[in-house]
């Protein structure tokens, strides 16, 4: 049964079992399809309190609008699936738009954007057992490492245990590492070639096995340095998008990085769901075309 967005609250109130039922009957697919590439739309930002797009501080706070944008993105040819927290994935399950899609659960959301404890990024989202129970296909975790913040050590340790738990269930886990630091009280990620290389080396060694680990990486400030940066690991890589100012420049940078041999695809969110120019359809189709 495909529900409309206004029906979701009523179903949640009267029949919460509908979520598990929808998950149980969802048609699944391999992580990597015939194209050998992976295009995932990301929408796990709200649970971290990161709701802004440009100068619109609460752009992602309107759930019906976000779900409509996700439904459009998931309907476009070449889009393989979605990354989100439980609340959003369950809405999409009830809407019936996750059939034969890759469903990726977001795992650590505790390091709220702008909080004093932002670097102590605890696992307050999906656990490995939740992803397995719901029949989802993969998980994603964020590892920001600030050499001056003791909270990063707790994040590293809990991330390693999450990698172990996912591998125990033979579930892929996408690790998104950054070397970060506070600038004027705000956490900033270092996108220099050296910093991204260092983050890759650290993330690749998390846990007792890397057999099920993927890396979710930014394009470095110097895109020409990406071949040397990605030489730091043999793990498969997807590129992340982030919020971009110049959409055309972002497409050009992504296109160059996608030609590298270990890059298997992209996981992109706000820049496609809330494009600076044009429609969601156009932004998604352009990104898919880069693959």
Residue 1 is predicted with a pLDDT of 46
Share of the chain above pLDDT 70, in %: 98
pLDDT, position 245: 64
Q: What is the mean pLDDT of residues 167-191?
A: 95
| pLDDT higher than threshold 90 for residue 180 | yes
pLDDT of residue 6: 81
For the stretch 207-257, pLDDT in tens is 999 999 999 999 998 999 999 999 999 999 999 986 666 778 888 989 999
pLDDT at 255: 92
The answer for residues whose C-beta is within 8 angstroms of residue 55's C-beta and 6 or more apart is: none
Residue 171 in this model has a pLDDT that exceeds 60:
yes
- What's the mean pLDDT when you consider all of the chain? 93
Q: 217: which strand partners?
A: 239
| CB-based contacts of 21, cutoff 8 Å, min separation 6 | none
Confidence of residue 95 (pLDDT cuts 50, 70, 90): very high
- With a CB cutoff of 8 Å and minimum separation 6, the contacts of 66 are 43, 46, 60, 88, 273
What local confidence, expressed as pLDDT, does residue 246 receive? 73
Which residue reads 């996750």 in tokens?
A: 98
268 close to 235: Cβ distance less than 8 angstroms: no
The alpha carbon of residue 191 and the mean position of all alpha carbons in its chain are separated, in whole angstroms, by 18
Encode pLDDT of 49-94 as tens digits: 998 888 888 988 999 999 999 999 999 999 999 999 999 999 999 9
Distances (CA, A) of 68 to 45, 64, 152, 202, 273: 16, 6, 36, 37, 10
Cα distance between residue 206 and residue 121, in whole Å = 16
């Amino acid at each position: 049964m495909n529900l409309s967005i206004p029906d979701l609250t009523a179903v949640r109130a009267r029949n919460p079992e509908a979520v598990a039922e929808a998950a149980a009957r969802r048609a699944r697919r391999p992580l990597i399809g015939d194209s050998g590439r992976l295009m995932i739309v990301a929408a796990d930002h709200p649970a971290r309190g990161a709701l802004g797009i440009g100068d619109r501080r609460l752009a992602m706070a309107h759930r019906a609008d976000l779900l409509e944008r996700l439904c459009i993105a998931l309907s476009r040819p070449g889009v393989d699936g979605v990354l989100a927290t439980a609340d959003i994935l369950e809405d999409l399950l009830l809407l019936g738009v996750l059939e034969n899609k890759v469903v990726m659960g977001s795992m650590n959301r505790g390091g709220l954007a702008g909080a004093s404890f932002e670097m102590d990024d605890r696992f307050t989202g999906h656990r490995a057992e939740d992803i397995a129970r719901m029949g989802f296909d993969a998980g994603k975790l964020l590892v920001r490492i600030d050499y001056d913040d003791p909270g990063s050590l707790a994040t590293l340790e809990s991330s390693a245990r999450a990698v172990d738990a996912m591998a125990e269930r033979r579930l892929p886990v996408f690790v998104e590492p950054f070397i970060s630091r506070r600038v004027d009280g705000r956490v900033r990620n270092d996108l220099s070639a050296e910093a991204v290389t260092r983050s890759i080396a650290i993330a690749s060694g998390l846990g007792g096995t890397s057999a099920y680990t993927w890396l979710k990486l930014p394009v470095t400030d110097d895109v020409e340095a990406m071949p040397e940066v990605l030489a730091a690991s043999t793990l498969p890589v997807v590129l992340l998008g982030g919020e971009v100012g110049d959409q055309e420049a972002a497409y050009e940078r992504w296109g160059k990085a996608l030609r590298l041999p270990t890059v298997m695809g992209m996981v992109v969110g706000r820049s496609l769901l809330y494009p600076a120019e044009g429609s969601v359809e156009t932004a998604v189709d352009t990104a898919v075309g880069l693959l």
